Structure 1
Amino acid sequence: MLPRVRWPKFLRAPHFTDPHTRRFAGILNFMLWVGLFIMAVHLVLTLVLPRTPFLNPYFELLVALLMGTCLLLLHLRQPRLAAGGYVLGLWLVVTASAMELGQVTSAGVSTLYTVILVAGVLLGRAGGLSVAALSGLAVVYMTWSAAGASTPDWAPIITIVLNFGLVALMVIIGEHAIRTSLSSAAHSHSLLSQRSAQLQATADIGLAATASDDVDDFLKAVTQVIAERFALHHVSILTLSQGTSELSLNPLSQGGQVYSAMPSFSLGEANATRSIIAHVARTRRPYLASDVHSDALYLHHPDLGEARSEIAVPIMEGTRLFGVLDVISNQTSLDMDDLNALQVLCTQLGTVIYNKRLLQLSRRHLEETRALHAIALAGMEASDEEEFLRQAANVIGRSLFSENFGILLIDPKRKVLEHKAYHQDGAYRAPAIPLGRGITGVVAQTGKPLLVGDVKRDPDYLMVDERVRSELCVPLRVKNEVIGVLDTENHAPHAFSQNDLQLLEALAGQIALSLERIRLLSDTERRAEELAETLKQQEELARLRDQFVQNVSHEFRTPLAIVSGYIEILSSGDLGPLPAEYHEPVEIIARRTQMLTRLVEDLTSLLNVQDQRNDFVTLYLGDLLNTLYPHQRTQALASQIVLEWEVPASLPPIRGEETLLRTMLNNLLDNAIKFTPSAGRVSLRANVEGASICLRIHDSGIGIPPEQQSRVFERFYQVDGSSSRRFGGTGLGLALVKEIVELHGGEIRLDSQPEQGTTFEVRLPLLPPEA
């Protein structure tokens, strides 16, 4: 094979996009350079052979300049003007050369070469060359005869041969120019028609893109537009199924002759379908089969009839394959121009589909957010479990999973799943499903979600609805315990994705939280009712107890008064001298009677303490304390206890009931003296701290154990409740103290250590300052 010659740049023809113009410019460029070379040879012959009576050297120089001008026009991308100038130059050279011979008239030469041109154009390149050669021989013969020469003059012969060679070249160029012009015009018309159809299809696709936000509706309109605008036998768009390596035909996205049965093409390495469509989907490259009968990848489908050519172009959604556009023609042979036009349309389709998918995804996310919010709101407001589940199923079914959606809960006694709520496109309702059977039963038993792309291939699927092709099921958990499942079905295979699985799990989590809240609320309400009933019973018991205590106190008061009176008479000797042996029994009777009287008074005070709020007056606590001092000092001396009394004379006034406050103070001081051994100390200190009067009563007695300190203010509670206890009492004193302090808006605190003594701190609020 000969090596390819790399000509200098100035010798090369300019580049044109149109292939016909590019070929024509190359030939014309070559002929112009040949013409310049021939003119140079003519000029040399004229100078070397002075007897040659042909052309004037200046005329030949003028023709050379014309050829150079034609080259300049060609490089200025004006091939038609350059070709016209070239033909004109050849015509001038041939005509002038013939007339220089003096044997042929101008009219004869014109007629002769016109015939040569017309014959050459009509007969083609070979015919033009033949006519030029025969005419050249005829002119040579006429020239020799006219000159009467027996020996030919080679200079005229060379000139004539060169001139008629130029005629032959002119014929070739003229014929090629006309043919190229006709072919280019036809090609331009074809391109114009194709471009018009492409622009119209682009406009129609743009209208379809704005007419609907649904991708399926858009694809349906696109296939019909392409089939009509490009006059195609069949147009279809096959989409890639989610989560699989299969191309499936959307039944809506067909135009022209359509499939009666929806085909699918596998793209997997092991079971890949051998077809043009599958090849394009795997390689992501367009494919043109100008003659399908000689193409090894062509897969005939009986629904489409006879086909002549096929084009398949991938549709890319961003960087992901969305599907394949497949077109078939049964009349004309599709070519690269058709392929380029369809590629442009597929680029537009990919952009529109990508934007529509983004819009659908945004709307989907909005619907998901609304559904989660609606379920959370319903769960917060609902108090009935079944009503909440019905609301949740309706929300999810209407906005997210519209075909079949259900909520099933486990019946632990029967060990089955029962439909509690559902949203479906028909009147179908599944029966109770045993645990471990069917997809829902398996999920309920294992606690693991299942996404089934084709239920017909799943051994766990229980055939209930023949229309169902795909199913998605996730467990419902409350505190790590599976209580049920969420289940959704679809009539299309591979209808659910991992995103749907994650969404359903999020919905299951929200529903489980709401169910737990409703159950806790129901349990709380039940317990509240039980507690309310118990409280009611306790209140009734307390009322009966208080009534009993009040009655007993009332009944005890009169007999105790009589007994106390007779004891005083006996002790005073008004009935006569009391024998010595009776003194001790009478004293015991007097002490016990006094204790019972104190008990009755405490009970009466405890029952009536709340009724004395309206008896509050302004009083000075310092004066009240000073009235108690003599009695408490006498008791302390009798028990050999040191009593320390620190009460400032300037204590501010408070609001209170004097009798209650006196009872409260006496109870605290009596307890302090009672539980302090001989030689011990009891102190009372009063001072103002902030907006309160603080009283601290401290004793060095036996103290109170820490575990019993929280109960000393309960009614009838005693630190030492045994029958052999050292100190007497009813267990009402401190309870009465606490109620009196709280009635006055104050508070009481206890600080005690066993065997180290006890301190009671009482705080009573001062009168608020006058405005």
Structure 2
Amino acid sequence: MPDRPDYSALTRGQIAILDRINSGEAGLPVLQHIVRLAQETLGGRGAGFAEYAPDHGRIIAATGVCRAAIGRRVERADGRLRDGRTLLIPLDSLNDEFAKQVEGGDVRHMLGARCEVGETIVGSLHVYFGAGDGEPGPDHHAVLELLAGQAGRLYAAREGLPVHTSADQARRQDGRDLWVAVTSHELRTPVTVIKGYADTLTNHWESLGDAGRQEAVNVIGTRAGELARLVDRLLSAATEDGEIGASPIGPFDLAEALRTAVDELPAELRRRVKLDNLPGEMPKAYGDRDSIATILTELATNAEKHSPAESVVELCAGVDEETLRFRLSDRGVGIRPEHVERAFERYWQAEGGDRRHHPGAGLGLYLVRRLVERQHGWVSLRPREGGGTTAEVRLPRA
């Protein structure tokens, strides 16, 4: 870390932000620019911004070693920022929520600043520093406070921010309607697979041969059993506030679960999914193995809906010290930066999808986030370099 912030970079960056605002840009793309400027100006290893709802926060913008944390739900951390506008936290001094975001690198300190609109803390801006960087000085604190203030002005303008609906708005939603919507959508996946294989048997019985017919029957049997378990779980575990139950969680082989889920995809979609890098040996993930088929099906269907026919959807997996991850990447129209969080809202649908062949109510990605977060993981979307979209799911290591 330099002894003083890079004021030249700060000046250039603020001019660029003003140019973007004056040209009509707002919301998440400009906020991401502020986060990137914080890392560059202060010489950090990474930076992130957590937007706060009344009951929790979510990381909606990040750079550098924090990039993998985009989409992660976190507890509100503004209690530590009440006494001062900025705070330096040694990451080895406590089990800090934000410390778990960092992917790689010897990161030791986090400098945080609260983002306010009037008396309300709407989020917090954080920059991470390595062990050899030294501790940030008063000038670093002042610059981060300045940039957090700029983020606050974006929120005050209320053009595209906040990204998420407030808790009051969420409470006004009909809980019973939510339960019906999520239940019907979760049931649709196995029903679609069963119908697809049944139609294949009906229309191509002779040409399939014994092996093909046996494979189709096996998949139908597997999905019928899954459907029965799903109906029992949903009907018995539903509560009045619209929450749905989950299968018992525990250690499971993520790579094996992904291979099985790919094998059970509808035939046309299965042919498009390429297992790009799926390690044979990985640590166990900790979560709900049965949910992987639903999660993968929804993400793959979303990729298919927004990419050219016959184009490849790449599936890969990996591991770091805290999490296991898998990614689905397509070469489609891509997702606009301001839509990477809106895509997870209930009933929201982007323009340009193939709704003729893939009709839906805008519940797929909403359901994916629900399934992943109740396993203490997180899911995110981002534009893919060279065109297309990458969806990434992270689950805890066992």
Q: Which has the higher contact order (CA 8 A, sep 6+)?
A: 2
Structure number with larger C-alpha Rg = 1
- Greater helix fraction, Structure 1 or Structure 2: 1
TM-score normalised to structure 1 length: 0.22
Structure 2 length as normaliser, TM-score? Answer: 0.41
